[in-house]
A and B are shown apart, each in its own frame.
Chain A
Amino acid sequence: MGQQYLKVNSIEELLVNLDKPGAMVLCGGTDLVVKMRSGLLSPELLLDISDLPELREIRNIGSKIEIGAAVTQSELLASEIVRERLPLLITVLSQLGCVQIRNRGTLGGNLVNASPAADSAVPLLLFDAEVILTGSQGERRLAVKDFFRGPGKTALSNGEFLRAVLIPLPNPKLSPFFHKIGRRKALTIAIASLGALLHVEGDLIHEVRLAAGSVAPTPIRLRRVEERANGKRVTASLIEEARKLARQSVSPIDDIRASADYRRTVIADLVAHLFEGVLHV
């Protein structure tokens, strides 16, 4: 009610206004506008960063890619370097929402929203990506895993905004895997999702990284499974241990989409399935 709108023209203008009471950053609006309509959020000052040039760049800095907070998901999908070096991100984003959502939605927005089901968090966790948070005090970098603090909660302090995501380019030998379970095949919110980067030779696992969505208060890495599997050969007993460890690593809830029990089981089975796939190539 009586809320103000300001299209910010510079980071300075954004920072000055971010300190004002009830100020909130607006970018694609794919979550924010819905939450405003339903009364879940009632910002007094909307700061639209969607056309801020500094936030709309994809930059290749040495061994890393920096993605500005206002880059849309569609722009990422069309980006040559992302397609070449981050195929997992392409796989995930092409299943996120639908064209109309991806044309507005941004990577930054998906992260700030901090949904336990945030699809894009899974690959970012696997890449060991960082977020760059900017405030009037300056800038700080934080691992994506430390950025999430719980459902809807992030490490952003007052007066701070997410400026960019920094992704270290992964070893090209790591092949991507992503499975999102939904009620239907498109435009769906994950009941559970599993992402992986996997480098195997024969049945030897050189490196595996695993992350899961919708099975804990935040998207998570399955470190215990990774530690158990890295450098090992896939055997029946390894698969069973991985299944068990995956099960223990998650802490899902019951909601209208599925039960906690299903989520635990399906993540464990997907992890086992991934390793079984190594044996059945």
Chain B
Amino acid sequence: MIGAAVLRPDAIDKVRGEARFVDDLAFPGMLHAAVIRGTVPHAKICKLDLKSVSKHPRVICTLTANEIPGENVVHVIYDDQPALADEIVRYIGEPIALLAAEDRTSANQAVKLATINYEELPAVFDSLSALSPDAPTVAVPAATEKAPNLFNAMRIRKGDVAQGFAQADVIVEGEYHTGYQEHAYLETQGAIAVPELNGAMAIYGTMQCPFYVQAAVAKVLGLPLSKVRVIQTATGGAFGGKEDVPSLVACLAALLAWKARRSVKLVFDREEDILTTSKRHPSIVRYKSGAKADGTLTAIEVDFVYNAGAYQTLSPAVLWRGLMHAAGPYRIPHVKIDGRSVATNTVPCGAFRGFGSPQVIFAHESQMDRLAERLGIDRLEIRRRNALQIGDETATKQRLSESVGVLQTIEKAGRLAHWEERLRKVEAFNAASRDRRRGLGISSVMYGVGLGGKAPFLDKAGAYMKLEADGSIGIAVGTVEMGQGLTTALTQIASEALSVPFDRIHLAPVDSSRVPDSGPTVASRGTMMSGLAILDAAAKLKERIRTVAKDLHIPKNEIPSRLKEIAQAFFMRNLDPAVEGWAQGAPVDWDEETGLGNAYFVYAYATHIAQVEVDLTTGEASVEDFVAVHDSGRIVNHQLASGQVEGGIAQGLGFALMEDIPQEDGRLMTTGFTTYRIPTIRDIAADTKVAFVEALYSAGPFGAKGLGEVPLMASHTAVSRAVAHALGAAVNTYPLSPERVKGSVA
């Protein structure tokens, strides 16, 4: 069953158009919410007049910050973001007030009837300006006197970089810039709040983290956690964008439902979603690398700054992952890394596939190529020589004891791409072509699976499992299906563990009342953590099944085929057929001062190779060919896994070549898919090869690690380095639009 080709059960509902996404649901008497939002980047709210809104014949109620029954916060990490701005607005699009109307059109019309008077305050939009001591203070509370907007500063100190650079034969320095990336999940954010008996509130919504939503709604309504029930609806893509934002969406819907005493639906349209929800942090990364003549890395010094937007939300965690991933999958004796996240009057940035790592990966992989070029070493070879192996120490001095497949990914990718032969072909093409150039790019990455040493308390998961009277199995878990195929992979794991056929097992969508807090569905941890919880539950259930079987004189090897008989015995004898499984991540530790420690319990790895062709006349770059090799331990389902990889490649290609949100004075300039461009079916490579090397992880379910985020992390730099190779020029800023590429040609 593990590694077998099974069809995902949810796909059948989805191809029939019968999977119910949040906007497909309706409850009796349901109202439609709309959000009245700030239109200036930084201001005191002097007057908020909703009289005309209330007079709209189909508006049932409005709600402002002073009416909130609980705390006016969206609980994430530091609780600095209000559900509704009360005195100050800190970014364009910040929620100020709410309304509920009898239909969606009226709700959207009524929003325009609100009058808000502001006293505008000085505002700051880019991270470097915001770091200046005399910048307007955005952060609440101000961080320090010298740097009021410095949300977070974190560091790693290993060895002595001065010594490391002194040992180097060559040193390269670079500065790299990336902009916003929007998740562009096809289903926008949405939630329905449904008042339930006994003053409880149920939330139906599209989300990654039902338990975050539960905590946030309980806090804003002033309810005990036990009275908030969160049910995840079919989720139309997330990619990190539905990690923290659904907490805000659910809070807003819940506040109106509490006031109106009726069900309330809040679904964002695409413009609202793009303009007001989280994005990938814009970054500036300064990177200095030293290597010996044979390519051996001696030291790196990295300083990076992320623009966090007006509130912290997930920025501390994003920054930490960036810090942990800034060295790449390489052996480096001397390491100095500093990361900062900074408050500005812009939309709060948050989680996006890779979670703070793609920005530093762009830098570390570009640096590797530049070292290779300076030293006259092949780019694949320099990665091979520095790749981490079992027994090596990471940048945080973590000793790797098992499951390190990065070298195999490099070598296999090289073989699949026919690296050397292809390099020669590319050179021959370029020599013969007047107006087009081809290039090859390679990128290797490592990824810490799970939440790591900064938040070990989140790495847990529960599973509820019951044997039905007909021998079928019902399972509930706390991590979500958002398209990645988790339900299928977990069903396969349960099927293997229980020796029960795949289609006799049903995994219900997440309902927070059925399982304990299982942490978020992020950090590529779903298969591993819920998989382990299922294994734990399965072991307990099998033990009971064996006891009953023994009693019935059923030999062990006949248990699978006679499970129905055994289940009947459970039923007739009033035996408990339900078990709970529990999993927690292996121990991690991390020292804030030095930045050293066992940051994650295990790492996944990948190497991608891309071939591009650039039109020198126009600067248009096109990805022709792609090879992706991953080590995520045991692959539970190859079709799902390769689907994750192919999707990550496309998102990375978009990040590198086309996706961009220009910002003018805090106003985002893309308002929809007409201006925010993601890859179409014509933009992907004509040929994409995906392969796996399975360096098994002993503590993972059947040796599995994590996969979800890794493909995006590796792909964008393979593309951008291929463009740099084609141009023979530096490529330091994303996206590589035709204009930017043409600028590099000249």
Check A-B contact in the complex, CB < 8 A. Answer: yes
Chain A residues within 8 Å of B, Cβ to Cβ: 179, 181, 183-189, 191, 256-259, 262, 265-266, 269-270, 273, 276, 280
Which A residues are CB-close (under 8 A) to B679?
184
Contact B617 A188 (CB under 8 A): no
Cβ-defined partner of B622 (8 Å) among A185, A189, A266, A273: A185
Q: Does B670 contact A (CB under 8 A)?
A: yes
- Known contacts A181-B618, A183-B677, A189-B674, A265 near B683 by CB under 8 Å: no
Which A residues are CB-close (under 8 A) to B435?
273, 276
Contact A262 B662 (CB under 8 A): no
CB of A210, distance to nearest CB on chain B (Å): 15
A183 to B683, CA, bound (A): 10
- Known contacts A188-B677, A189-B674, A280-B434, A181 near B658 by CB under 8 Å: no
Which B residues are CB-close (under 8 A) to A179?
618
Contact B662 A256 (CB under 8 A): yes
A266 to B745, CA, bound (A): 12
Cβ-defined partner of B682 (8 Å) among A184, A191, A256, A266: A184
Q: Does B453 contact A (CB under 8 A)?
A: no
Top 5 nearest A-B pairs by Cβ distance? A185-B682, A186-B682, A262-B739, A183-B677, A186-B680
Contact B662 A266 (CB under 8 A): no
Provide 6 A-B residue pairs closer than 8 Å at the C-beta atoms, listed in order of the A residue: A183-B737, A256-B669, A256-B670, A266-B619, A266-B738, A276-B435
Contact A269 B617 (CB under 8 A): yes
Cβ-defined partner of B738 (8 Å) among A181, A189, A280: A181
Which B residues are CB-close (under 8 A) to A183?
657-658, 677, 737-738
Which B residues are CB-close (under 8 A) to A258?
737-739
CB of A236, distance to nearest CB on chain B (Å): 14
Contact B742 A256 (CB under 8 A): no
Contact B683 A185 (CB under 8 A): yes
B 673-697 to A, binary, CB cutoff 8 A, 1 in contact else 0: 0110101111100000000000000
Contact B682 A181 (CB under 8 A): no
Which B residues are CB-close (under 8 A) to A273?
435, 617
A6 to B565, CA, bound (A): 69
Which A residues are CB-close (under 8 A) to B617?
266, 269-270, 273
Cβ-defined partner of B742 (8 Å) among A188, A262, A276, A280: A262
Which A residues are CB-close (under 8 A) to B739?
191, 258-259, 262
A189 to B670, CA, bound (A): 14
Q: Does B303 contact A (CB under 8 A)?
A: no
A270 to B616, CA, bound (A): 10
Which residue on chain B has the smallest CB distance to residue A34?
B674
Which residue on chain B has the smallest CB distance to residue A39?
B112
Total residues of chain B contacting the partner, CB 8 A: 25
A187 to B678, CA, bound (A): 10
Which residue on chain B has the smallest CB distance to residue A192?
B618
Majority SS at the chain B contact face: loop
Which B residues are CB-close (under 8 A) to A265?
742
Majority SS at the chain A contact face: loop
A27 to B434, CA, bound (A): 45
Which B residues are CB-close (under 8 A) to A186?
680-683
CB of B104, distance to nearest CB on chain A (Å): 13
B 706-746 to A, binary, CB cutoff 8 A, 1 in contact else 0: 00000000000000000000000000000001110011000
A265 to B742, CA, bound (A): 10
- Known contacts A183-B737, A256-B670, A266 near B618 by CB under 8 Å: yes
Known: A179-B618, A269-B617. 16 other contacts (CB 8 A): A181-B620, A183-B677, A183-B738, A186-B681, A186-B682, A191-B738, A191-B739, A256-B662, A256-B675, A258-B738, A259-B739, A262-B619, A262-B738, A265-B742, A273-B617, A276-B435
Which residue on chain B has the smallest CB distance to residue A185?
B682
Contact B677 A184 (CB under 8 A): yes
Which residue on chain A has the smallest CB distance to residue B434?
A280
A257 to B739, CA, bound (A): 9
A280 to B435, CA, bound (A): 11
A191 to B677, CA, bound (A): 13
CB of B621, distance to nearest CB on chain A (Å): 11
Which A residues are CB-close (under 8 A) to B674?
189
A259 to B619, CA, bound (A): 14
Which residue on chain A has the smallest CB distance to residue B680?
A186
Which A residues are CB-close (under 8 A) to B683?
184-186
* In the complex, chain B residues 425-463 whose Cβ is within 8 Å of any chain A Cβ: 434-435
Contact B680 A187 (CB under 8 A): yes
Which B residues are CB-close (under 8 A) to A259?
739
A185 to B613, CA, bound (A): 13
CB of B2, distance to nearest CB on chain A (Å): 38
B 647-674 to A, binary, CB cutoff 8 A, 1 in contact else 0: 0000000000110001000000110001
Which residue on chain A has the smallest CB distance to residue B435?
A273
A258 to B660, CA, bound (A): 12
A273 to B433, CA, bound (A): 13
Which B residues are CB-close (under 8 A) to A187?
680
Which residue on chain A has the smallest CB distance to residue B622?
A185
A188 to B658, CA, bound (A): 11
Contact B680 A270 (CB under 8 A): no
- Which of A183, A187, A259 gathers most chain B CB within 10 Å? A183
Which B residues are CB-close (under 8 A) to A184?
657-658, 677, 679-680, 682-683
A270 to B669, CA, bound (A): 29
A189 to B658, CA, bound (A): 13
Which residue on chain A has the smallest CB distance to residue B735?
A183
Which residue on chain A has the smallest CB distance to residue B681?
A186
B 590-623 to A, binary, CB cutoff 8 A, 1 in contact else 0: 0000000000000000000000000001111010
CB of A166, distance to nearest CB on chain B (Å): 31
CB of B681, distance to nearest CB on chain A (Å): 7
Which B residues are CB-close (under 8 A) to A189?
674
A185 to B677, CA, bound (A): 11
- Known contacts A256-B675, A266-B738, A185 near B618 by CB under 8 Å: no
A269 to B619, CA, bound (A): 11
A46 to B619, CA, bound (A): 43
Which residue on chain A has the smallest CB distance to residue B670?
A256
CB of B481, distance to nearest CB on chain A (Å): 29
- Known contacts A258-B738, A259-B739, A262-B742, A270 near B682 by CB under 8 Å: no
A72 to B27, CA, bound (A): 41
CB of B660, distance to nearest CB on chain A (Å): 8
A256 to B680, CA, bound (A): 20
A258 to B658, CA, bound (A): 12
